[in-house]
């Protein structure tokens, strides 16, 4: 996705959230705040974007989002279990009604046979208990993997969260 396409997605999300009086939070690992940057590029996003958590390390995931050490030890940072706990933590530690979370392996290091380069878990949830997660296998170098994750995360807000309101 191009920068323009990411901005168009963020604007569409903002228009819908602002109109409904709903707030969004993000919990990002491998994207390092890129989703939050795209969102806050939109003028007036403070009316629908509550906050973003950049939890790059396991310790940050535990301290800021309440991801359990047991989950991280058993499944790793790049897992469905972890990304789901990240979404729940973003909702619990914010004033948001909706949240998205991203964790993955953008490379060039960190890949394993079970979790190759480009493995990314995304999750979306709301304060009513809705939770959906998906695993993606993106291709390309670090920048390409991260850009694809940002696009899918934003697209998922429209696909998984807004129709639940």
Tens-place pLDDT, residues 35-65? 999 999 999 999 999 999 999 999 999 999 9
The count of domains in the chain is 1
| Residue 164, pLDDT score | 65
Query: How far is the C-alpha of 58 from the C-alpha of 14, rounded, in Å?
Result: 30
| Residue 65, pLDDT score | 98
CATH of residue 125's domain is 3.90.950.20
Q: Is 109 helix (H, G, I), strand (E, B) or coil?
A: coil
| Residue 162, pLDDT score | 72
Q: What is the pTM of this model?
A: 0.95
Residue 71, domain extent: 3-164
| Residue 165, pLDDT score | 58
Q: Say if residues 67 and 53 touch (Cβ distance below 8 Å).
A: no
| Residue 160, pLDDT score | 84
Tokens of 132: 């959906």
Helix (H) or strand (E) holding 120: strand 119-126
What residue ranges of the chain have pLDDT lower than 70?
Answer: 163-165
């Amino acid at each position: 996705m191009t920068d323009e396409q990411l901005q168009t997605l963020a604007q569409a999300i903002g228009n819908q959230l602002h109109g409904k009086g709903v707030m969004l939070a993000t919990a990002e690992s491998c994207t390092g705040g890129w989703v939050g940057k795209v969102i806050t590029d939109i003028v007036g996003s403070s009316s629908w974007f509550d906050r973003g958590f950049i939890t790059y390390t396991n310790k940050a995931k535990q301290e800021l989002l309440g991801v359990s050490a047991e989950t991280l030890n058993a499944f790793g940072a790049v897992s469905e279990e972890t990304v789901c706990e990240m979404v729940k933590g973003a909702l619990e530690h914010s004033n948001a009604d909706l949240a998205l979370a991203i964790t993955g392996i953008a490379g060039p290091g960190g890949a394993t046979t079970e979790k190759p380069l480009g493995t990314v878990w995304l999750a979306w949830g709301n304060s009513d208990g809705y939770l959906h997660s998906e695993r993606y296998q993106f291709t390309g170098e670090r920048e390409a993997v991260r850009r694809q994750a940002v696009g899918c995360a934003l697209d998922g807000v429209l696909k998984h969260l807004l129709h639940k309101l």
